[in-house]
Amino acid sequence: MQHPGQPDNPNDHDERCAIALGGNLGNVEATLTSALADLNATDGIRVETKSRWYRTAPVGPPQPEYLNGCALLTVSLLPVELLAALQAIEAGYGRERRERWGPRTLDLDVLLYGDRVVDLPRLQIPHPHLGERAFVLVPLAEIAADWIEPRSGLSIGQLAARVGNTGVRLAAAN
């Protein structure tokens, strides 16, 4: 609650968020690690926790296997501002959008933003495929198993148990 005359408290609208990181082109572990540092250096974003990295079988067209992980952030950005920040970082790592679900150097997706549901033309939160992707749910359950996904009302741990871990294994370097 903002009282007139008081300075705008930067913690007024800090929000807990979860993001997915992935890539399958180049030195992906170095890219993901560097992208997390870039996120933490971004105004309005603090990286709180990250999962371990996982080697995952590609979902979609045939392509190299991915390296995936998730991270928990505290943000004082609005959802659309967070998306723009993620896309700016992706662009810095040579992200070229060719085919849908095609290979990429770096993919940063917003998975959860507090308990909010967002349905905008270019931004849906929770991420539309969150509930069906083992390559997201396995790392996310490692760091946020008790988080309730607002569309289903189920916890991340429950969603992960439903989807299983086929095609997802811990990366050697963790």
Ligand X SMILES: Nc1ncnc2c1ncn2[C@@H]1O[C@H](COP(=O)(O)OP(=O)(O)OP(=O)(O)O)[C@@H](O)[C@H]1O
Ligand Y SMILES: Nc1nc2c(c(=O)[nH]1)N=C(CO)CN2
Positions touching ligand Y (CB under 6 A) are 22, 56-60, 66, 68, 101, 107, 135
Query: Which is nearer to ligand Y, 76 or 124 (by Cβ)?
Result: 124
| Shortest Cβ 100–ligand Y spacing (Å) | 8
Q: Are 46 and 17 in contact (CB under 8 A)?
A: no
Distance CA 27, CA 126 (A): 29
| Shortest Cβ 172–ligand X spacing (Å) | 25
What Å distances lie between residue 157 and 5, 65, 91, 102, 139, CA to CA? 44, 24, 32, 28, 10
From ligand Y, ligand X, none, interface partner of 59 (C-beta below 5 to 8 A by class): ligand Y
Distance CA 83, CA 113 (A): 11
Distance CA 75, CA 56 (A): 28
- Please report, as ranges, the residues that interact with ligand X according to CB under 6 A: 83, 97, 100-101, 107, 109-110, 122-125, 127, 129
| Shortest Cβ 3–ligand X spacing (Å) | 33
Among residues 16, 52, 55, 95, the one annotated as catalytic is: 95
Beta-strand pair 66-75/54-56: antiparallel
| Shortest Cβ 132–ligand Y spacing (Å) | 11
Residues in the chain: 174
Q: Active-site residue 43, yes or no?
A: no
Residue closest to ligand Y (Cβ): 22
Supply 153's token pair: 């009302």
From ligand X, ligand Y, none, interface partner of 122 (C-beta below 5 to 8 A by class): ligand X
Supply 101's token pair: 């679900």
Q: Active-site residue 95, yes or no?
A: yes
Alpha-carbon Rg for the chain, nearest whole angstrom, is 16
From ligand X, ligand Y, none, interface partner of 58 (C-beta below 5 to 8 A by class): ligand Y
Among residues 109, 119, 146, 151, the one annotated as catalytic is: 109
Residues assigned a catalytic role: 95, 104, 107, 109
